[in-house]
Structure 1
Amino acid sequence: MNVDPAEIAKFEALASRWWDPESDFKPLHDLNPIRMNYIDSFVNVAELTVADIGCGGGILSETLAKRGGVVTGIDMTDAPLKVAQLHALDEGVQNITYRQMTAEQLAEEQPGQFDVITCMEMLEHVPDPSSVMAAINTLLKPGGKAFFSTINRNPKSWLFAVVGAEYVLKLLPKGTHDYEKFIKPSELASCAREAGLKVTDFKGMSYNPVFKTFRLTGDVSVNYLMATEKPEQTS
């Protein structure tokens, strides 16, 4: 399977802190409104089928469900999925299904079943991002949209996302990221096109360490988002 056991172990160990906004997952809590606003600018997920690939403890999945989406969140970590299920139960959110499986497995089971797919901060943690991208294309309905976020690979991103975030500001546990797995926007776009997706937009996400907030920018040199869509079928 397209899984790195070391990556799984890292997130398993942190599972109990997933929904603490002041824990190791504070960056995800801070990023979530920015990611959701970006998705909202392209599509209203209400009553649409949504898959959240690499959902972890369910921060984005639950937001998508609260916006009215019928959400399937998948991940290969067991403990974070249990945390996600319990949190959704506590919040009374019923339109989420969490499953322990890969994107490739879901694609075999439910091809062409989803209107929207999100894959956030996940591709830099798998051995073969192109396999995930191909699975996402298979999962989407014609005209469906997929959204990604990851980290660029360059000296600036190493300085900000590894040295700054993990060692200086201590926003993330040391060892969270492997610089060699970072993905340049050109590489991600090429991967999407090879899978059959049309790239429609890029946006950067900039962090202000003084105010401890993220904002969307035109600078994709560190963290960035990519929007894609699956072309409509033609006769």
Structure 2
Amino acid sequence: MGTPTCWTPHRRGYAQKLFRQGLTIAEAAQKLRVTRSALGLAVTRYQMNVPPRDLVTFTDLAVTLGISVTEVHRLTARRGITPGRWLGNSTVTAKEAAALQAEREPVLDSWPPNYLTAEQVAQRWDLTVSRAQARLREHEVPYVLVRVVGKPSPKRAYHPRDVDGARPPTHFSQRPAGTLDAEELAVILSRSAAMVRLWAQQGMPHLEQRGPKRERLFRLPEVVTWLQQHRDSRTRRLGAYIAAQQQREAA
């Protein structure tokens, strides 16, 4: 690959066209028949890393909305927005970004009385913070955003009544009907029991017994629904396959 002596407007325009198609610098460099470092220098020199006016990166949108990039991914997924790509970064159109900003929840300046943080919810439920947050999202527990001094993003505050409505069942004296343990579910899903337990830690619906004998039990319909909504495409395909298999067996 040879490094061009100059980056003409035509060549820069072609590079930006490749970036709009979602190519990374390495991929675009191959198309342009230049080295990755040469393209990287040109990107910096000619400010080609600045997205077009009609595109907004998830990073910029996260700053505007006062949330994390991960939350932006979840927000766009809930709204059915298919993200684009720019230099390897996820993007939305300026119109989509404006719509998301318009429906952004108001941010309070002071913490509402008796409201709980996610950490307090986790203590209330005797779960880890990550698992509590996953359950709060799964059950779409209402929240308000509150500015916190020293924090770049607002925190979510939950009303105890709403939190208690989504409390996970944690005790059972007898095994509920229609439930599967991790090993039984693993056989149905053709996965390992360790993978099933990992999914449970990531928020897959389950019942959990506390005490000396800690056991997780699963209901297959809830598991299938969770799999079909997973962010990983392979996991979603597994959920769709199991759902179709259930339909065939029921027919």
Category of TM-score, reference length = shorter chain:
under 0.3
TM-score by length of 1: 0.23
Greater helix fraction, Structure 1 or Structure 2 = 2
TM-score when scaled to structure 2? 0.22
Q: Which has the higher contact order (CA 8 A, sep 6+)?
A: 1
Higher strand share: 1
